[in-house]
Structure 1
Amino acid sequence: MQLPLNALRMFDAAARHLNLTRAAQELHVTQAAVSQHIRNLEERLGKPLFRRLPRGLALTDEGLALWPVVAQSFERIEQSLQQVAEPRPREILTVGVVGTFAIGWLIPRLGQFQQLHPYIDLRLLTHNNRVDLAGEGLDAAVRFGDGSWHGTRADMLLRAPLSPMCTPALAQRLRQPADLAGQTLLRSYRMQEWEGWFTAAGQPAPLARGAMFDSSLTLAEAAAQGAGIALLPTRLFEHMLRQGRLVRPFAQEVDTGAYWLTHLRSRPASAALQTFRHWLLAQLQDENASANPPLPGIRHQE
């Protein structure tokens, strides 16, 4: 059945306002024109779409069934017309991001990127540092490590030294690194991290018996809820330190790697990826060059 587009537009406006006068004002036509188009539509359908009330309209069952379909159709047409009218096409960029970097650095700055580059449709997929660029159809991935991944180009974004973090109450019982030996040390899947930190602190490493986590985000949350002491990248958990949910009982850090932007060498970088890469590197260069204030949450040793 072919129905006149103008009549459907009048029906949609009347259904939204449930008032012929307001529908006519929106469409810049007369009330009589709206009423006539709706009556013609009802005659072609053989069903009433509205009940006429003393102070407005009410949709019939048939009108209630038809209106969502009509409204969604007009919305999709409008969206498509806007895309066609844009001076340049939108570019889709799909990036896998390790969750710690996404929460601790990228998401607070996404608004700026989208404002600068409105034609890039950025799609973020978080992961726990295990990612398959080709298999997952990613244009690029941010991950943590030493920068050596077979077949990829890797641009270093930032180093992220690790430092112990725990609740303020637990930190009060810690005066020197040796005090950690009697505490629950939460672990990531990178087993050597605690050993490396104790070596840097000049202490023998105790046996870590705490729970093991595959994500620094869950590791940090466990520490914030008092489950033990976590070894975390300070720079990416400054928000939790400022909130007072975590503190750093010791300033000692251990450097175990960095965050990198990676993409396959076999696949040419798109214009969107090049833009995203340049923005990331410029942002981090500016931040690294500026004077860093004292990191929050450190309880200085006496």
Structure 2
Amino acid sequence: MKPLPPVLWLQAFEAAARTLSFTEAGNELGVTQSAVSQRIRLLEDRLGQKLFVRHPRSLTLTPAGQAWLPSVQEAFTRLAEGTAEVFGPHPEAPVTLRATPVMQQTWLVPRLLEFHRTQPQVAVHLVSAIWTEDFGPEGADLEIRYGRGDWEGFEAHSLGAESMLPVCSPEVAERLHSPADLAGETLLHALGFAVGWPAWLEQAGVPGLDRQCPSITCDNQVTTLTLAAQGGGVALTHDSLLARRDDLVAPFSLTVPSDERFWLVRPLRLRWRQEAGLLWDWLMRFAD
């Protein structure tokens, strides 16, 4: 078996491949951009293949780099988990909680503030993630994920069934008396949800109406809700999250159930800390 490349080279590759920037990778690793570039060049020489395509102002991964990245990330994840299992985290390390931005702004913030009032000695590090792949490779003590709850290697508890419904500003709602009135309105789409506008419109009895509407598509629900609140269109959101928004109203009562929902999640393989357990127990009060 050939010896593995030095860890510093692997770290440089993982950071650069994740950020697609030698500069950002250097900032993350605490070294210069040129140091990252040199380590990547040495790594490519060792492997005998290019890992990046270098454009004038950007980077892309080669097919070999794309294929190798998951293995490198998994190796670092296993190493971090194994270290935590055997030695435990630093006793003063904060509890890392990862969640989607919309969940942070609506459901999580009031509960986290109340937890802080009762357990001020527990430091919490809140990290944002949008897509499922954003939940790694860096470890987190707890996570609030969106999906079907079928993640291997994790304990997951539902935070309640979810349904989707349209929301908009009060001014826009004044001209929406039935779903058919959405014709010509801007529909705001958030990617990554099983129930989107086509599904809701079909249940409302106006299938295909979205083809008569301008649209703006965003990669997260926070942006679509912000646009909707400013009169920029009509967005879909989870009915459980609407109660804490005083700048949005639901023009229609129809909700469409989804088989996806938010889950309180923790990895099974990590050594459990008392501080993380306190936050887990607090949030579990709100699980099904």
TM-score interval for Structure 1 and Structure 2 normalised by the shorter chain: 0.5 to 0.7
Say which SS state the counterpart of residue 236 (structure 2) adopts. Answer: strand
- Residue equivalent to 1:183: 185
Question: SS state of the match for residue 112, structure 1?
Answer: helix
What is aligned with 2:261?
Answer: 258
2:207 alignment partner in structure 1: 204
Alignment gaps of 5+ in structure 2: 1-90
Q: Residues of 1 paired with 2:223 and 2:93: CA distance?
A: 33
2:123 to 114, 121, 124: 121
Distance in 2, Cα, partners of 1:254 & 1:272: 38
1:134, 1:127 → 2: CA distance?
Answer: 9
Residue type at the aligned position of 1:118? P
Paired residue for 1:42? none
Alpha-carbon distance in 2 for matches of 1:231, 1:177: 13
Letter in structure 2 aligned against 1:276: L
Residue in structure 2 matched with residue 166 of structure 1 by the alignment: 168
Change (3 A) 1:120 1:259: same
Matched, 1:270 2:273: yes
Scaled by the length of structure 2, the TM-score of the pair is: 0.61
Alpha-carbon RMSD: 2.2
* One-letter amino acid of the counterpart of residue 152, structure 2: H
Task: Please say if residues 157 and 265 of structure 2, whose CA atoms lie closer than 8 Å, have aligned partners that are also in contact.
Answer: yes
User: Is 2:283 the counterpart of 1:280?
Assistant: yes
Query: 2:99: which partner in 1?
Result: 97
Q: Where does residue 146 of structure 1 map in the other structure?
A: 148
d(CA) in 1 for partners of 2:187 and 2:223? 14
For residues 193-231 of structure 1, give each alpha carbon's deviation from its aligned partner in whole angstroms, at most 9, with x where no partner exists: 112212332331322641111111111010111211100
Aligned pairs, number: 194
Q: Is the 8 A contact 1:167 1:226 kept in 2?
A: yes
* Partner AA of 1:105 in structure 2: W
Equivalences for 1:76-87 in 2 at 5 Å?
A: none
Contact 1:133 1:263 in 2 (8 A): no
User: 1:158 deviation in Å?
Assistant: 2.8
Which of 204, 214, 234 is the aligned partner of 2:239?
234
Unaligned 5+ residue runs, structure 1?
A: 1-88, 286-302
Partner of 1:45: none
Q: Could you tell me which amino acid in structure 2 is paired with residue 160 of structure 1?
A: E
2:139 to 132, 137, 140: 137
Contact in 2 for aligned 1:96/1:142 (Cα 8 Å): yes
**Contact 2:166/2:252 (<8 A) preserved:** yes
Q: Which residue identity lines up with residue 121 of structure 1 in the other structure?
A: A
Q: Which structure 1 residue ranges, 4+ long, deviate > 4 Å from structure 2?
A: 131-134
Q: Read off the aligned partner of 1:196 and give its amino acid letter.
A: A
